[in-house]
Amino acid sequence: MATTTQPAARWPAPRGVPWYIVSNATEHMTGDMFLLTDFTSPWPGRPGKGFLWSASLTVPDVSYVPGLTENIISLNQLIDSGFNVIFEPNGCSVVRSYDAQHQQRVVGRASHSSSQLYRINYLKIASS
């Protein structure tokens, strides 16, 4: 039986906790279960999924992976969810393919950090 944690209020992710867009990850992941709201797991305190919400991040379907030391946004999961990622010399932009007016809209930006890592400045891919 799945357990669900639904806090009364959504708490912003602490400042200084970096999130990275990674090209070789299959899903969004964090090692800190307390960054997630609406967390659902088959067993209490075990791996599951939740919603990341803060002033600069709004991301659904983030997996909790105990022991993971980095916070990861999956390039593959973004693309599979209908977003485009445009890479530039100093970073990348996450773009929603089309909004109601059939125009592209930037929903996130990340700065090139090192090799395949892009440190997220902001990412809003779900309604808050």
For 25, half-sphere exposure in the C-beta direction (CA atoms, 13 angstrom radius) is 23
Mean pLDDT of 102-127: 86
103 assigned to some structural domain? yes
Pairing outcome for strands 3-5 and 36-41: antiparallel
Looking at the domain assignment, is residue 51 inside a domain?
yes
What average pLDDT does this structure show over 30-55? 85
Q: Which residues contact 8 (CB under 8 A, 6 or more apart)?
A: none
Q: Which long-range contacts (CB under 8 A, 24 or more apart) does 55-58 make?
A: 55/12, 56/13, 56/120, 56/121, 56/122, 56/123, 57/13, 57/19, 57/120, 57/122, 57/123, 57/124, 58/123, 58/124, 58/125, 58/126, 58/127, 58/128
The first and second tokens of residue 113, run together, are 């950090």
Find tokens 């307390």 and name the residue. Answer: 34
Instruction: Report if residue 127 sits inside a domain.
Output: no
Compute the average pLDDT of residues 13-37.
84
* Res 99: pLDDT: 61
pLDDT of residue 34: 86
CB 91 within 8 A of CB 118: yes
Residue 16's pLDDT band (cuts 50, 70, 90): low
Q: How much is the average pLDDT of 3-28? A: 65
pLDDT surpassing 70 at residue 82: yes
12 found inside a domain? no
**Is residue 125 situated within a structural domain?**
no
Domain ranges, residue 76: 3-7+18-119
Is 100's pLDDT higher than 70?
no
* pTM, two decimal places: 0.79
Residue 124 located in a structural domain: no
Q: Output the average pLDDT for the chain.
A: 82
Number of domains in the chain: 1
Q: Is residue 74 part of a domain?
A: yes
